[in-house]
Amino acid sequence: MMHVLVFGQTGQVATALAQQTCADITITCLGRDRADLTDPAACAAIIAQTHADVVINAAAYTAVDRAESEPDLARAINATAPAAMARACAARKIPFLHISTDYVFGGSGSRPWQVDDPTGPLGIYGQTKLAGEDAVRAAAGAHVILRTSWVFSAHGANFVKTMLRLGAMRPDINVVADQHGGPTAADDIAAALISIARAFHTGRGISGTYHFSGSPNVSWAGFARTIFASAGIDCAVQDIPTSAYPTPAARPANSRLDCSALARDYAIAQPDWQGSLRHVLQSLQGERQ
């Protein structure tokens, strides 16, 4: 039996992890009431006392624009807390799996980012997530940092649910067309994390930084068109440049991720996000019925 401790409970990936039911795995998800990431010492104390075999940090400060005005809070949750968790896991000699983001890159060019490419975050969110990565590596314990992008699911707030809401209200919608990346279902991220956890539990885990995103890459506008087509919504998508939709935090134009290292070391292939999207839409339809 493998015991997995997850920091996070209501977020998209944490919710998906809680649904990863297997006979040989127990998963305990900790919400804010039991694990406050603004109190890193308390998070470390939980790990020091746990009997878990693997710890997954699925909690983060993800309000990209609001982070520009709340840098201290974003850093506490995205950097200081993971640092304390990673050190506590290293002390207990158990692996620590940490979710990161494409926002650690500057977004230039069109080539998919490789795991060892130079980073260059454009805003506070990316900067704090990069600081969290550095802290996890510095703890020198068994770990995997899993960078992902454009997360969507049937739970929480995300692009898919926003498009479904707006598409049902409007005949057309403007969507940015000069940012490209790989939409990634939270269920697929959760399954990848469990596969990595199993590898560590059976002595086959390899520490490092990896990329995981859906395939094929697409623009936000292209993603929106597929959402509407798959959901049967008659809403036209008008392509606009990023400059026409200013936000407090800059977004990377290139969020494409090279996921070959994860396939090589863990035999985890990139998921087809269009198939995952259909599952999410079916789930949302079931909730409405």
**DSSP string covering 127-158:** HHHHHHHHHHHHTTSSEEEEEE-SEE-SSSS-
How confident is the model over 19-66, as pLDDT tens digits?
987 889 999 999 888 899 999 999 999 999 989 999 999 999 999 999
For the cut 70, the answer to whether the pLDDT of residue 115 exceeds it is: yes
The per-residue pLDDT for range 184-216, each reduced to its tens digit, is 999 999 999 999 999 999 999 999 999 999 999
Write out the two tokens for 188.
């697929």
The predicted structure's pLDDT at residue 287: 66
User: Which residue among the candidates 125, 210, 245, 266 is catalytic per the annotation?
Assistant: 125
The residue whose two tokens read 């805003």 is 123
Burial class of 194 by CB neighbour count within 10 A (0 to 12, 13 to 18, 19+):
buried
pLDDT the model gives residue 279: 95
pLDDT of residue 278: 96
Q: Which amino acid is at 37?
A: L
Rounded distance, CA 5 to CA 51, Å? 9
Give the separation between CA 129 and CA 249, rounded to whole angstroms: 14
Mean pLDDT of all residues in the chain?
Answer: 95
The answer to whether residue 286 scores a pLDDT higher than 90 is: no
CA distance 10 to 155: 8
Radius of gyration of the chain (CA): 19
The Cα–Cα gap between 205 and 142 comes to 8
The question of whether 210 is a catalytic residue gets the answer no
| Coil, helix or strand at residue 279 | helix
Query: Which fold, 2-158+184-214+255-272?
Result: Rossmann fold (3.40.50)
Diameter over CA atoms, the chain? 57
Residue 260: predicted pLDDT = 98
